[in-house]
């Protein structure tokens, strides 16, 4: 299920819930699609610098996880040409499936957003790097790109404006690390998908050694609204501080009555999202824990969760991060040791192995948590878990190590008593049988 609470606006999911055919060019046009591009290219609504200025005014921040201001990032693009735009559609963070909805249900909005972004960046060629498992979304996007070429929105002379714009779709092969922008660039170039040391940043030396802007699907699709109505109109949706603007997609999974992707304005209370949009907790069970921004961000308890507004500042004030908007809701009865074990298994598996603290650290902390969940852990294990995770942070080429350390430290900090019960009782107090037959990784 996917829908916006902002009916009547040209936002990201501007079509009725469950509507058919929203991915076609005809449907997109009936919703005002490509009108911003026509106004920019045919009527000269903006110069490239003028559109970049609107993106800065909009306050749009990258929706891929880090929340870096998009206009500011664009202004770092080196002057050398050719330059490239890369759309990051790798979307592999556990709990995050919002880009998928844009690719499947509204792919033309991404295509239009990319062409407008190419215009603002004075670049001609964009790549979309889509995770390999997204076979159906790739088909939809591929069809939309073809339609856009046929309709003259892409090609050598777009809308007769004498400008060439091209988009190439590139399929990944199912590695989480290829979502990290420099790992993605290496993979796009045909190399091993391992992150590069920064600096130089992609805006200076990116794909094929040329200046490159990497942006998330949702970020680029949001540019359509900005080009259509202006940066200030986009920023009408804002939180109290005004530092988080626009609308944001949240993919909600876990113990809720109606999981799905919801578009809400920045600053929307989590409590309302849970109780009104998602229909409350599954079978009315009490909330126990929340991961608000995808698996990498610190977990919070129920009391804290209910105070969180869905924006960058409120999440930070409550000890977590907005991240990619992957909302994972956990009800009473969830074993938090098991929850951490599942996450760490993923990070250990996905570490690319270049940095020792990540390659070894993710394995060590995973094995400790496995032991604790199996009822074979000691109190020393708990201290070691925290110490190793702490030592992984901020010492590696990319932030995958941090992405494993933050959930580890926060699970232990917030739910320490539960970890201790596993040690003292010598078993999982929630009746978990571990290791289970389906997940036999390397033994502790």
Ligand X SMILES: Cc1cc2nc3c(=O)[nH]c(=O)nc-3n(C[C@H](O)[C@H](O)[C@H](O)COP(=O)(O)O)c2cc1C
User: What is the contact surface with ligand SF4 in residues (CB under 6 A)?
Assistant: 177, 195, 351-355, 358-359, 396-398, 400-401
Closest to ligand X by CB, 33 or 67 = 67
Instruction: Please report how many Cα atoms fall inside a 13 Å half-sphere around the Cα of residue 26, on the Cβ side.
Output: 2
Q: Which does 88 bind (CB under 5 to 8 A by kind): ligand X, ligand SF4, none?
A: ligand X
Biggest CA pair distance of the chain: 74
Contact set for ligand X, span 160-179 (CB under 6 A): 176-177, 179
68 contacts which partner out of ligand X, ligand SF4, none, CB within 5 to 8 A by kind? ligand X
For the CB of residue 66, give the shortest distance to ligand X in the complex, in Å: 5
Q: Answer yes or no whether residue 64 interacts with ligand X by CB under 6 A.
A: yes
**Minimum distance, C-beta of residue 225 to ligand X, in the bound complex (Å):** 15
d(C-alpha 161, C-alpha 365), whole Å:
57
- Could you give phi then psi for residue 233, rounded to 5 degrees? -65, -40
Residue with tokens 């951490």: 340
Residue 360 CB, nearest approach to ligand SF4 (Å): 10
Total residues found in the chain within this entry:
444
> Does 62 engage in binding with ligand X (CB under 6 A)?
yes
Phi first, then psi, for residue 269 (nearest 5°) are -65, 135
Residue nearest to ligand SF4 (CB): 358
Site for ligand X in 223-282 (CB under 6 A): none
End-to-end CA distance of the chain: 40
Closest approach, Cβ 356 to ligand SF4, in A, equals: 8
The two tokens of residue 285 are: 């069970």
The answer to whether 166 and 126 are in contact (CB under 8 A) is yes
Using CA of residue 334, residue 340, residue 342, residue 346, what is the dihedral sign? positive
Residue 22 interacting entry, from ligand SF4, ligand X, none, C-beta within 5 to 8 Å by type:
none
Nearest-10 Cα torsion for 60, 61, 65, 66: 180
Which one, of 298, 303, 290, lies nearest residue 253 by Cα? 290
Least distance to ligand SF4 from the beta carbon of 226, Å?
A: 32
Task: Return the closest-CA partner of residue 213 out of 98, 347, 34, 48.
Answer: 48
214 contact, one of ligand X, ligand SF4, none, CB 5-8 Å limit per kind: ligand X
Residue 210: alpha-carbon gap to chain centroid? 25
For residues 37 and 153, the answer to whether their CB atoms sit within 8 Å is yes
State the number of CA atoms in the 13 A half-sphere of 328 facing the CB. 23
Out of 104, 112, 147, 180, the residue judged to bind ligand X by CB under 6 A:
180
Selected from 58, 91, 305, 358, the binder of ligand X by CB under 6 A is 91
Q: Where in 133-200 does DSSP place strands (E)?
A: 166-171
CA angle at residue 356 from 350 to 360, to 5 degrees? 60
Binding piece for ligand X, criterion CB under 6 A, among 108-116, 239-247, 395-403, 411-419 = 395-403
CB of 396 to ligand SF4, least distance (A): 3
Asked if 92 is part of the footprint of ligand X (rule: CB under 6 A), the reply reads: yes
Nearer to ligand SF4, 255 or 348 (CB): 348
Q: How far is the CB of 112 from ligand SF4 (least distance, A)?
A: 33
> Could you tell me the smallest distance in angstroms from the CB atom of residue 362 to ligand X?
12
Smallest distance, Å, CB 405 to ligand SF4? Answer: 10
Looking at residue 61, what DSSP letter applies? B
CB of 351 to ligand SF4, least distance (A): 5
Residue 263 CA: distances (Å) to CA of 2, 80, 165, 421? 8, 37, 29, 39
DSSP 155: B
Smallest CA-to-CA distance from 24 within 156, 15, 172 is with 15
Sign for the CA dihedral angle at 140, 180, 182, 73 comes to: positive
Of 91 and 373, which CB lies nearer to ligand X in the complex structure? 91
* Binding flags for ligand X, 400-439, as an x/- string (CB under 6 A): x--x------------------------------------
Interface pattern 341-380 for ligand X (x via CB under 6 A): ----------------------------------------
CA distance 392 to 347: 13
Partner in contact with 381, chosen from ligand SF4, ligand X, none, beta carbon below 5 to 8 Å by kind: none
CB nearer to ligand SF4: give 369 or 405: 405
Q: Which of 104, 112, 124, 181 binds ligand X (CB under 6 A)?
A: 181
The residue ranges that bind ligand X (CB under 6 A) are 62-66, 68, 88, 90-93, 176-177, 179-181, 214-216, 219, 398-400, 403
């Amino acid at each position: 299920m996917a829908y916006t609470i902002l009916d009547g606006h040209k936002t990201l999911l501007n079509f009725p819930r469950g509507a058919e055919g929203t991915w076609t060019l005809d449907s997109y046009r009936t919703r005002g699609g490509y009108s911003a591009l026509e106004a920019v290219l045919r009527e000269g609504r903006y110069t490239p610098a003028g559109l970049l200025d609107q993106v800065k005014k909009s306050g749009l921040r990258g929706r891929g996880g880090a929340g870096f201001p998009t206009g500011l990032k664009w202004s770092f693009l080196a002057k050398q040409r050719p330059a490239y735009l890369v759309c990051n559609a790798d979307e592999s963070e556990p709990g995050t499936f919002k880009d998928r909805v844009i690719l499947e249900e509204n792919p033309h909005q991404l295509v239009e957003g990319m062409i407008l972004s190419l215009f603002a960046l004075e670049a001609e060629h964009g790549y979309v790097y889509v995770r390999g498992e997204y076979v159906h979304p790739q088909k939809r996007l591929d069809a939309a790109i073809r339609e856009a070429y046929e309709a003259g929105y892409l090609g050598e002379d777009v809308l007769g404006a004498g400008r060439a714009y091209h988009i190439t779709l590139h399929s990944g092969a199912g590695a989480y690390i290829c979502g990290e922008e420099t790992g993605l660039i290496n993979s796009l170039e045909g190399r091993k998908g391992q992150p590069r040391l920064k600096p130089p940043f992609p805006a200076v030396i990116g794909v094929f050694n040329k200046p490159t802007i990497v942006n998330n699907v949702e970020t680029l699709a949001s540019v359509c609204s900005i080009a259509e109505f202006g940066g200030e109109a986009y920023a009408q949706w804002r939180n109290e501080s005004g530092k988080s603007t626009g609308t944001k997609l949240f993919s909600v999974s876990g113990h809720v009555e109606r999981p799905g992707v919801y578009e809400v304005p920045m600053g929307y209370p989590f409590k309302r999202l849970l109780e009104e949009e998602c229909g409350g907790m599954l079978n009315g069970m009490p909330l126990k824990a929340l991961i608000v921004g995808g698996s990498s961000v610190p977990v919070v308890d129920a009391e804290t969760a209910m105070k969180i507004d869905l924006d960058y500042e409120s999440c930070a004030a409550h000890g977590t991060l907005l991240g990619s908007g992957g909302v994972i809701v956990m009800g009473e009865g969830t074993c938090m040791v098991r929850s951490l074990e599942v996450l760490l298994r993923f990070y250990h598996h996905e570490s690319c192995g270049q940095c020792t603290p990540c390659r070894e650290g993710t394995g060590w902390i995973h094995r400790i948590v496995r032991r604790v969940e199996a009822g074979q852990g000691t109190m020393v294990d708990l201290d070691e878990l925290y110490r190793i995770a702490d030592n992984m942070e901020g010492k590696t080429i990319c932030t995958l190590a941090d992405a494993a350390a933050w959930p580890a430290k926060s699970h232990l900090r917030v739910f320490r008593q539960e970890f201790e019960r596993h040690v003292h009782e010598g078993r999982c107090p929630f009746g978990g049988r571990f290791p289970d037959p389906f997940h036999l990784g390397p033994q502790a």
